[in-house]
A and B are shown apart, each in its own frame.
Chain A
Amino acid sequence: NAGVTQTPKFQVLKTGQSMTLQCAQDMNHNSMYWYRQDPGMGLRLIYYSASEGTTDKGEVPNGYNVSRLNKREFSLRLESAAPSQTSVYFCASSESRGPNNEQFFGPGTRLTVL
């Protein structure tokens, strides 16, 4: 099992460009999440999908959109990238959305917006 996979691993964008970060999990998990990691800060939740067909905003959703394509895949889209979106993005999944469920993380995407 690959666990949680993310593509791409690295990306450089110019301000105003758009891109989609892809995430897939093969653990048959119901819930999936997108986080961003910035220096000196904890992981911050951008969006989550508690189950297939649902998505909800997290702590820092502005400038992002998401799609839960199917149970396996959850994508994050930046419509018009800004330098403030330079960050490391992690996708995660869990069996269900609840306090007792550990989250499994992908390898991350390092995004730089110039």
Chain B
Amino acid sequence: ILNVEQSPQSLHVQEGDSTNFTCSFPSSNFYALHWYRWETAKSPEALFVMTLNGDEKKKGRISATLNTKEGYSYLYIKGSQPEDSATYLCAFWSSIDYKLSFGAGTTVTVRA
């Protein structure tokens, strides 16, 4: 079992403010890092799949960076809006067991 840690577990942000949070994973045996957004009463949906050290991906106001050498990824939300309220899951694909290992998620609540 590979440990994927996400911090913080939850955060509250004021509408219009920017925020970021972390996913940590084993730096060895790296294959890919996935980010998913999971809105209440819906299914998790993929945001990004990242494979290369130094990768940066962007979708609208959400972006992510990847550091495979030190084993972390940041997800950034710029100018948070209420519709950004969700749980953000990261998942690490390892060459050891060749499957996705999910973190417990960071729950973001955007206050109007």
Residue positions of A touching B, CB distance < 8 A: 4, 35, 40-45, 48, 58-59, 90, 97, 99-108
Contacts and interface: CB of A to CB of B under 8 A. Distances in A.
Nearest to A102: B46
A106 B36 CA distance: 13
Contacts, number: 52
A107 B103 contact: no
A99 B32 contact: yes
B75 interface: no
B88 interface: no
Interface residues of B, number: 24
22 contacts: A35-B102, A42-B89, A42-B101, A42-B103, A42-B104, A43-B89, A45-B99, A97-B98, A99-B93, A100-B32, A100-B49, A100-B51, A101-B49, A102-B34, A102-B46, A102-B49, A103-B34, A104-B46, A105-B44, A106-B43, A107-B43, A108-B43
